[in-house]
């Protein structure tokens, strides 16, 4: 059972053929566990619910089984593999400095500390299995790992926080408290050289690449205008990027990144894995790993696409004064954004529920199965 499940996460996660000896198998399992905990925590936080005790029984059971399972998954992999991982993780968490013994030590700003914590806690069990002394050291080791990772996360926050406001206050004669905070901040920055001497840190902070600021924010769908006519105007001035200034027939807005696409048209077809697909399907592979949410502006309709063959339409988050949608824009009444509906769509996306919605829609309406979604 353990082998079957870890093989599934490996196969789906890496799109690879099953190979029980691949050293990435336990990593994929730990990553599944860390990601699941992290996304559940984010969703609860957004709904202003408490971390413990707010989950429905089914989800609660599922989460605790997944955690227990992940802590035992090393038994299905060669012991040397998990030990090598643990040593690499420790090199990452304890040193976080360039080390000639460990190849490609990551820079502190590139690490998701929660994932690192989960990986090290879970892989520690395999190392502990060699300890024959009978003493229980697991709990204290886990606590040490937690402390270390928390401090490293604080450093991430300090490094990527902006100090402009604090300094401005200081110039204008800020209070003693602010001055001390500023001093503490500078002191920490100075003495944390050990973790921060990685060339990657300097490079990132000096503007060499995208800075991920910590603590990280949850992913959100784009902001939509309150008045639908703003989108209609935007779409009517949108021209097909491939046909030199021609108006696009079906301008479609990606709700994940805000990109306007020329959908359902031969001019913007692209080849993906040897097959011609429309602009939306092609975009999903660069924007959402094959999954996409779009707003077809001229139809006032939301489009969900998953992979090349599955898709469905979904009611838009825009309503008229009577609280009704106008799919196809037939009535032409003014439409306004319904924040609640839009949050519902966002929640579906964040809970990985889009594929399920498509599945249900196709089961209920067989004509949807026959549509060539990949041409949209």
For 282, the 3-state DSSP assignment is helix
CA 121 to chain centre: 22
Nearer to Zn ion, 30 or 294 (CB): 294
Q: Where are the alpha helices (DSSP H) in the chain?
A: 2-14, 24-46, 57-72, 79-90, 113-128, 138-160, 164-171, 176-191, 193-196, 199-205, 228-236, 279-287, 339-350, 354-364
Nearer to Zn ion, 29 or 262 (CB): 262
Q: Which residues contact 353 (CB under 8 A, 6 or more apart)?
A: 347
Which positions touch Zn ion (CB under 5 A)? 240, 242, 254, 256-257, 259, 262, 265, 267-268, 287
Nearer to Zn ion, 27 or 303 (CB): 303
Nearer to Zn ion, 97 or 259 (CB): 259
Shortest reach from residue 116's CB to Zn ion, in Å:
29
* CA dihedral of 282, 284, 287, 292, whole degrees rounded to 10: 150
Shortest reach from residue 71's CB to Zn ion, in Å:
37
Through-space distance between the first and last CA atoms of the chain, rounded to whole angstroms: 40
Shortest reach from residue 93's CB to Zn ion, in Å:
34
Nearer to Zn ion, 124 or 294 (CB): 294
Measured from the Cβ of residue 154, the count of other Cβ atoms closer than 10 Å reads: 15
Are 225 and 232 contacting, i.e. CB atoms less than 8 angstroms apart? no
Shortest reach from residue 253's CB to Zn ion, in Å:
9
Q: Which long-range contacts (CB under 8 A, 24 or more apart) does 164-172 make?
A: none
Nearer to Zn ion, 221 or 240 (CB): 240
Q: Given CA atoms 17, 19, 22, 28 in this order, what sign does their dihedral have?
A: positive
* CA dihedral of 60, 62, 68, 69, whole degrees rounded to 10: -170
Nearer to Zn ion, 34 or 253 (CB): 253
Shortest reach from residue 169's CB to Zn ion, in Å:
39
Shortest reach from residue 315's CB to Zn ion, in Å:
21
Using alpha carbons only, what angle is made at residue 249 by residues 248 and 253, rounded to the nearest 5 degrees? Answer: 70
Are 296 and 303 contacting, i.e. CB atoms less than 8 angstroms apart? yes
- What is the residue whose two structure tokens read 């976080």? 96
Q: How far is CA 34 from CA 10, 46, 114, 181, 226, in A?
A: 15, 18, 7, 33, 37
Shortest reach from residue 265's CB to Zn ion, in Å:
5
Nearer to Zn ion, 192 or 287 (CB): 287
- The rounded distance, in Å, linking the Cα atoms of 376 and 371 is 10
Shortest reach from residue 208's CB to Zn ion, in Å:
25
Nearer to Zn ion, 33 or 293 (CB): 293
Shortest reach from residue 358's CB to Zn ion, in Å:
18
């Amino acid at each position: 059972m353990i082998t079957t499940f870890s093989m599934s996460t490996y196969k789906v996660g890496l799109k690879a053929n099953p190979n029980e000896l691949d050293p990435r198998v336990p990593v994929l399992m730990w990553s599944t566990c860390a990601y699941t905990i992290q996304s559940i925590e984010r969703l609860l936080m957004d709904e202003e619910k408490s971390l413990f005790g707010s989950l429905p029984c089914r989800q609660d059971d599922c989460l605790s089984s997944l955690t227990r399972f992940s802590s035992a998954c090393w038994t299905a992999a060669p012991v040397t593999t998990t030990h090598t991982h643990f040593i690499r993780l420790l090199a990452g968490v304890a040193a976080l400095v360039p080390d000639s013994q460990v190849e490609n030590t990551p820079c502190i700003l590139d690490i998701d500390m929660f994932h690192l914590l989960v990986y090290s806690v879970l892989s520690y069990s395999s190392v502990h299995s060699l300890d024959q002394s009978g003493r229980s050291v697991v709990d204290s080791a886990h606590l040490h790992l937690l402390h270390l990772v928390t401090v490293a996360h604080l450093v991430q926050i300090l490094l990527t926080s902006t100090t402009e406001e604090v300094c401005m206050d200081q110039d204008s004669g800020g209070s003693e408290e602010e001055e001390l905070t500023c001093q503490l901040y500078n002191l920490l920055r100075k003495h944390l050289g050990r973790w921060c001497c990685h060339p990657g840190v300097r490079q990132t902070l000096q503007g060499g690449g995208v800075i991920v600021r910590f603590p990280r924010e949850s992913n959100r769908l784009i902001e939509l205008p309150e008045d639908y006519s703003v989108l209609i105007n935007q779409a009517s001035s949108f021209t097909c990027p491939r046909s030199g200034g021609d108006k696009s027939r079906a301008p479609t807005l990606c709700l994940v990144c805000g990109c306007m696409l020329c959908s359902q048209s031969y001019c913007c077809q692209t080849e993906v894995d040897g097959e011609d697909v429309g602009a939306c399907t092609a975009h999903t592979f660069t924007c959402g790993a094959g999954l996409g949410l779009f707003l077809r502006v001229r139809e006032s309709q939301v489009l969900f696409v998953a992979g090349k063959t599955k898709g469905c339409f979904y009611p838009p988050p825009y309503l008229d004064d009577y609280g009704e949608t106008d799919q196809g824009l037939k009535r032409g009444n003014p439409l306004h954004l319904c924040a609640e509906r839009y949050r519902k769509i966002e929640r579906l996306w964040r809970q990985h529920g889009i594929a399920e919605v498509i599945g249900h829609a196709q089961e209920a309406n067989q004509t949807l199965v026959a549509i060539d979604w990949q041409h949209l």
